[in-house]
Amino acid sequence: MASSSFSSSSMLAFVLFLLVLLVGSSSAHLSTNFYYKTCPKLFTTVKSVVHSAVAKEKRMGASLLRLHFHDCFVNGCDGSILLDDTSSFTGEKTARPNVGSIRGFNVIDDIKSKVEAACPGVVSCADIVAIAARDSTVILGGPSWDVKLGRRDSKTASLSAANSGVIPPPTSTLSNLINRFQAKGLSAKDMVVLSGSHTIGQARCVVFRSRIYNETNIDASFAKTRQGRCPIKVGSGDNNLAPLDLQTPTFFDNHYYINLVNKKGLLHSDQVLFNGGSTDSLVEKYSKNLHAFDSDFASAMIKMGDISPLTGSNGEIRKNCRKPN
């Protein structure tokens, strides 16, 4: 009798343990319908703001996509990149990969204020960044995907983490790119396909000057064209912009890979993807198959959005994306 009561109580404890596990794991997972009941107008609200911002300036679409990438690669997709510096901490905005180039904060602010008006205190800034990245891609002609949601916002940010090299610089070697992405649970294939986001957007002369003057694996006429707006002298024209994709700079397509095959990658870290190394075959594939690129890009963006989110009772839902509550 005693043993049966012991076993039944053990069974109850085991069932309770399983329930705790299930609840714990489900809160740590994102889902595409997270705000289905709590903020039904979320997607239409975000899309309308992104649409008007990109209509005003096509480059903003690329900036919003990049914002998501730079957020996720530093301590996970937690909205930490949005935090302004305060007297108690220095955020990520002035980190080397971000300073002078990361942008789109005003658009995120605009989205947040409209989302707050529709459903106050419900939607995180981290999730808004993720949705804005998807909408930007679609508006510029790229693929769509179902954005997984349920991230919460960090209460702090880390300049040192953003400066630690987790975001690969434009001078990266192929092995550094592969290693940096693998450290975030992303494969070499994910890295090559996510690099395809450089089919849109622009880069500053200071980050491609060395490539157009010193490297040999570059089309001569392409280098000459880029040199026209990027003088060899350091400090001269540093902030002059050039499109990452010369062919269709404001349209999301596979011309980025066609450019690489033709030795017209603007950044060193672009051309290393097609330079006699392990990723050449993938670049060739995407240069010839837009559908494969679109499909793989959508999958890789979902995977990137899964990097170390704060969920459950971790973090918070910021009222203002620029500061903790």
Active site residue 70: yes
Residue 146 assigned as binding residue: no
From the candidates 51, 68, 70, 268, give the one annotated as an active-site residue: 70
Residue 268 assigned as binding residue: no
SS3 content of the chain, % helix, strand, coil (to 5): 50, 5, 45
Residue 215 assigned as binding residue: no
Distances (CA, A) of 58 to 54, 136, 198: 5, 9, 14
Q: Which helix (H) or strand (E) holds 258?
A: helix 255-261
Residue 29 assigned as binding residue: no
Residue 76 assigned as binding residue: yes
Residue 92 assigned as binding residue: yes
For residue 15, give both structure tokens: 């069932």
Distance between first and last Cα of the chain: 56
Residue 127 assigned as binding residue: no
Residue 168 assigned as binding residue: yes
Q: Which helix (H) or strand (E) holds 65?
A: helix 59-72
Label residues 12-48 b or e (16+ Cβ within 10 Å = b): eeeeeeeeeeeeeeeeeebeeebbeeebeebeebbbe
Catalytic residues: 70
Feature table: binding site for heme b: 198
Binding residues: 71, 74, 76, 78, 80, 92, 168, 198-199, 245, 248, 253
Please enumerate, by residue number, every residue annotated as part of a binding site for substrate: 168
Query: Which residues fall in the annotated binding site for Ca(2+)?
Result: 71, 74, 76, 78, 80, 92, 199, 245, 248, 253
